[in-house]
Amino acid sequence: MELTGAAWRKSSRSNSSGGNCVEVADNLPDVVAVRDSKDPHGPALTFDPYAWRIFVTGVARRHSV
């Protein structure tokens, strides 16, 4: 999948000293992409936007408990 034009961003909760960060590009038309911030030229996982929204909602609920 071509990810040219992806605007990658890290979570505001990422710790730059730990090196365990992921980046997300959610500006693409039909997909949300996720990659390892330490390997920006490596592989990326892609998700349907609806599936990504469900995942993020679930994580947010889990952390608010």
Residue ranges of the domains in the chain?
9-64
**pLDDT lower than 50: segments of the chain:** none
**Predicted local confidence at residue 30, as pLDDT:** 93
**Predicted local confidence at residue 21, as pLDDT:** 87
**Predicted local confidence at residue 2, as pLDDT:** 82
**Predicted local confidence at residue 17, as pLDDT:** 59
For residue 65, count CB atoms less than 10 angstroms from its CB and return exposed for 0-12, middle for 13-18, buried for 19 or more. exposed
**Predicted local confidence at residue 15, as pLDDT:** 67
Distances (CA, A) of 55 to 31, 51, 58: 14, 6, 5
| Total-model pTM | 0.81
**Predicted local confidence at residue 16, as pLDDT:** 62
**Predicted local confidence at residue 31, as pLDDT:** 96
